[in-house]
Structure 1
């Protein structure tokens, strides 16, 4: 059982007390994404909490898109968000919900607040509203329009609805307390004018509710019992409660906060992720270097590994910067059990076995997984011309270097012992060939082991190695995010893969022995030229 499923967190205790005291009720949660970008791993944590708890307590969870801002390209992202949720293995309750479904009701509740003298139409400019609001150390100042009569505000709001004001010239604000120590309670904006065609409501509206006004009302309309969100919405809780308290709504959801996910070397801000795309740092939302669900999927992460990572985090109120190794260990643990083994050479250098004729070859049968015979076997060839990693040979090695060098003997994995005795260089003094002698009899000594591929077994391949996108652990605390981009976040290498892989393309994820785990990029791969994305390195790298 994973931590999120254990009934130990404060959220579990809240839910259990609720169910105990309200035996006729069931748990009802929601996942309310803003369709202005792709989901990232922080959203995955929220999905695991909201859908996971609903499943655990036999409740239900709604998927509701916060489409209160018509400027967002909703259609572009809604289908992708749904795709990611389903891929992770979650299913929302009944039909998809949208905040725009409730625009008529939300509008009526706005009128109710005006009629109660709890809302007014303000004609201050945006900059003036910001200045009047004050700061953390300076209280706000009442707007000169705050004391308009109910009749005046009703007429003004009606004219807002009819489109008789230019965008940005007026807005509807709640009348709460400009002296409040909580800035969000200093007469927040409830409605603004936007002459933009909406994805769902088309041109029916030219005024749109703010997220804070629409969110709590949408929760109440849907009968949400527990509105679970991250700690950044803690201040919004006061407004959430104020709105519901002052309108004639029949249900009263309660908001509870937990810590948001912060992951090393990543940004989980959609605004900042957009900034990376706009500045051509990355091309798309599904770039394997991004912590988006689509990016992680393209990188080779499985739905189970992502969920296990989120479950292992638990539900707390303590913000932490989570180590990237925690995420990597989840996929590594899964692939260690499931991944098909094969040998690949990412930076090849040629080996010539001088005491074997060119026409001679030997077939060696090896397991596809050392601990799972049910995964079958494969045949590899041993012949005169082989390829090893360039890093597995040094002309002038240090004492700590234990792989191949002149006069040194090593073992080729699954095969024979060889000793290097000569090298060949090109005009740039780069080593192009290593001449070796093969020892057909094993003297029972222990030798260092390296991987290899026969020339008779190779097909060319491209390997994309991914490193951290940022050079610092917490790029979110820096003002200039783009100045901390890692120039080596993506490295392409060109080498060889064992051609046996063609018979196992359905498996897609592989462990390249001594290197790491990789996935085939099926979109750009060809039959005789396969492109791989690195998923994660091996936990213990045997190279030195």
Structure 2
């Protein structure tokens, strides 16, 4: 981790003044009710690298204290994603639900100390009693129950005597506190639902703010590193540990929360996108989920590089997504093979090339890295070029193919357009008839004439037909914050463009799963692991060769 990282400096200073009596240990505590996204990766990285910087351990602990939302499928996905990122917790994978007995005993201890009570207020009444930012809350009429009565009621809550949401256990702190989190917060609530790990063993579940510090203490966590929205929760974190009289308790510290322009990171909005069918599941390549980024073709190395380059974030920060694209380009530009792919094919017949002839041409794999060598690309009488590479009436500055003009085919020959064949009724261009100059073969060292344009091509006889997906920002603007806002108007209808009849050179048939490559002039691509099959090859553009999003 960079030595100027503010969290690293803060911890170094604190440990110099008041060291722990144990090794450094941090944790990442996701709730298994969704999938990790790029903001999660920043939090994982911060916890993992702080632990590594001090020679400590990194824990993955699932905050699975709400049976209504959690699922083992999310657990497995989160473990897989974290390992894919390169932050493997190894044997240090834990579950908050495994600490249910200890958390329950902690609640009993608070009741016995007169620091917690059972409250019968309904959820709406509790909200009304809580007060506002400018007005203090009102004391619950159940706040002065005796210790004996509270112990009895809490035990009955545990045994399932009362229905869901009929009672809660609250901390007795201060209803006039300026910090709303300290106004007698709920510690336990009743939920009659089957838990994915503990089944029906429990019908009361702790709130995160209560379970979190106890779980940290059980595991020997030294630093609970949280995103900035938990700063106002820190007094409650400290209160719980203090009232339970724990020796050398963990310390909560906060770092900034990462957002990206043009993408959704709010779990609520992500869920709406998926459930309303605006995207193709949680792994849609337009989403910032790690599953989506991976399916699109991003590498764990590029994501780690992006997080490292962001550096230290102290507050809520929004980073332009083009920076993530830049990090991937930097990784791929010298390591990937560049192949020719025609996304919108236009047929070209080279009339003076022998009909039955074909040849193999040696073309460099990467112009920036000669060590990647060359490959043989088939050439024949009929080829495909991009429709955009021909203009019947060329505008000023157009240096590609037009009637009577000459261009170089990359790695091959000069060709001249002699005739344009059109549909008699619609006027649509069907094909071009061209001639080639056999003396201009690339690599022969002969070419006295110069041409301004070079275009890519694919032999029609040898081409592989594929489907190509091109992506832009999912949102025109950033994620809305208003609860009732019709945010679907922010969706970009052109966030996905599909080239269903693309033609690429036969090399592409040998591309493996998640292998990255470049389509000449189009960008960097990867196989779509979800949609591809032996009968249907689908490729996703990860990023174009240059940033185009900021130019729109």
Give the TM interval when normalised to the shorter protein. over 0.9
Corresponding residue of 2:444:
none
Say if 2:538 is the partner of 1:531.
Answer: yes
Distance 2:383 2:449 in 1: 23
1:73-112 map, 5 Å: 73-92=70-89, 94-112=91-109
Looking at structure 2, the residues matched to 186 and 289 of structure 1 have their Cα atoms a distance apart, in angstroms, of 41
How big is the shift at 1:186? Answer: 1.1
Match of 1:451? 456
Match among 499, 502, 524 for residue 506 of structure 2? 499
Shift of 1:477: 6.5
Distance 1:100 1:474, change over 3 A: closer
Contact kept, 8 Å, 2:33 with 2:74, in 1: the verdict is yes
Partners of 1:343 and 1:505 lie apart in 2 by: 17
2:486 alignment partner, one of 463, 467, 480: 480
In structure 1, C-alpha distance between the alignment counterparts of 2:131 and 2:184, rounded to whole Å: 11
- Structure 1 distance, partners of 2:335, 2:144, is 69
Structure 1 residue 465, shift from structure 2 partner: 1.1
Between 1:352-361 and 1:408-417, the stretch displaced more is 352-361
Once the two structures are overlaid, the 10-residue window that deviates more, 103-112 or 246-255, is 246-255
Q: State the distance in 2 between where 1:32 and 1:228 align.
A: 10
**How far apart, CA to CA, are the structure 2 residues paired with 1:95 and 1:61?**
7
Q: 2:322 touches 2:547 (CA, 8 Å); kept in 1?
A: no
Q: 1:372 aligned to 369, 373, 377, which one?
A: 369
* Alignment RMSD (CA, Å): 1.9
| Alpha carbons 2:209, 2:233 under 8 Å: kept | yes
2 CA distance for matches of 1:528 and 1:149? 72
**CA–CA distance in 2 between the matches of 1:211 and 1:177?**
19
TM-score, normalised via structure 2 length: 0.93
The question of 1:49 aligning with 2:46 is answered: yes
* 1:409 CA drift (Å): 2.0
Structure 2 SS opposite 1:121 = strand
Of 432, 436, 440, the match for 1:434: 432
1:238 corresponds to which residue? 235
**Map of 1:508 onto structure 2:** 515
Deviation larger for 294-303 or 359-368 = 359-368
SS in 2 for 1:26: coil
C-alpha contact (below 8 Å) 1:353/1:437 kept by paired residues = yes
Partners of 1:229 and 1:482 lie apart in 2 by 30
Q: CA shift at 1:525, angstroms?
A: 2.8
Counterpart of 1:211 in structure 2 is 208
Query: In 1, Cα distance between the equivalents of 2:361 and 2:525?
Result: 24
2:119 matched to which residue of 1? Answer: 122
Aligned to 2:443: none
Which of 462, 468, 482 is the equivalent residue of 2:473?
A: 468
SS in 2 for 1:249: coil
What is the alpha-carbon distance in structure 2 between the residues aligned to residue 241 and residue 306 of structure 1? 34
Q: Within 2, Cα distance between the matches of 1:473 and 1:397? A: 39
Name the SS of the counterpart of 1:82 in structure 2.
helix
Q: Note closer, same or farther for the CA distance 1:203–1:234 as it changes in structure 2 (3 Å cut).
A: same
**How far has the Cα of 1:357 moved from its partner?**
2.7
Q: CA–CA distance in 2 between the matches of 1:234 and 1:187?
A: 18
SS of alignment partner, residue 430 of structure 2: strand
User: Which deviates further from its counterpart, 234-243 or 380-389?
Assistant: 380-389
Please state if 1:352 is matched with 2:349. yes
Residues 1:521 and 2:517 aligned together: no
Structure 1 residue 436 displacement after superposition: 1.8
Determine the C-alpha separation between the residues in 1 that align with 2:392 and 2:132. 66
- Does the residue aligned with 2:205 lie in a helix, a strand or coil? strand
**SS of the counterpart of 2:532?**
coil
SS of the equivalent of 1:505 reads coil
1:384 corresponding residue in structure 2: 381
Q: Tell whether the 8 Å contact from 1:263 to 1:322 is kept in structure 2 after alignment.
A: yes
SS at match of 1:359: coil
Unaligned runs of 5+ in 1: none
Is residue 65 of structure 1 aligned with residue 71 of structure 2? no
Instruction: Check conservation: 2:378, 2:462, Cα contact below 8 A.
Output: yes
Q: What is the TM-score of this pair, normalised by structure 1? A: 0.95
Taking a change above 3 Å as real, the CA distance of residues 140 and 368 of structure 1, as seen in their structure-2 partners, is: same
